[in-house]
């Protein structure tokens, strides 16, 4: 049988667990202050898991709650593969760019062109 935390006990559990985790988020392993920390739980089972950054918890929830909607059959298989995939592609290994991608310089030139056009229209 499992014990259910009382709402009034969650903050103490979160702070104790964060200390046990060495003040780090259980997902990204980066430092996590008490103001950034949230208690994570499994929505399917209610099981308390660990303490995460607020943003890590939000993204994890989106993945867990929506993976089937996007046709991802196993959130566990996806999660196991995504870190290696993103690490492998942290540099451009294909040598190609997506057709809609704009470099910072291209974005700056487009903003400047738009601003010139707006100024020209106001001047008339």
pLDDT truncated to tens, each residue of the chain (124 aa)?
789 999 999 999 999 999 999 999 999 999 999 999 999 999 889 999 999 999 999 999 999 999 999 999 999 999 999 999 999 999 999 999 999 999 999 999 999 999 999 999 998 7
Q: How far apart are CA 17 and CA 30, in angstroms?
A: 15
Q: How far apart are CA 56 and CA 53, in angstroms?
A: 5
This model's pTM is above 0.85: no
Task: List, in sequence order, every beta strand (DSSP E) within 1-124.
Answer: 37-41, 48-53
Quick check: helix, strand or coil at residue 53?
strand
Task: Tell me the CATH class for 7-80.
Answer: alpha beta
Q: Residue 23: which of 35, 38, 34, 9 has the closest Cα?
A: 34
């Amino acid at each position: 049988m499992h014990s259910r935390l009382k709402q009034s006990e969650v903050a103490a559990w979160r702070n104790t667990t964060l200390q046990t985790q060495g003040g780090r988020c259980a997902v990204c392993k980066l430092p996590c202050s008490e103001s950034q920390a949230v208690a994570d739980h499994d929505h399917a089972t209610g099981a308390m898991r660990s303490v995460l950054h607020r943003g890590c918890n939000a993204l994890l929830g989106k993945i867990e709650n929506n993976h089937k909607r996007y046709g991802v059959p196993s959130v566990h298989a996806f999660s196991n593969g995504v870190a290696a995939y993103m690490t492998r592609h942290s540099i451009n290994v294909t040598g190609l760019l997506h057709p809609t991608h704009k470099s910072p310089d291209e974005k700056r030139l487009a903003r400047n062109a738009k601003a010139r056009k707006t100024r020209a229209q106001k001047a008339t």
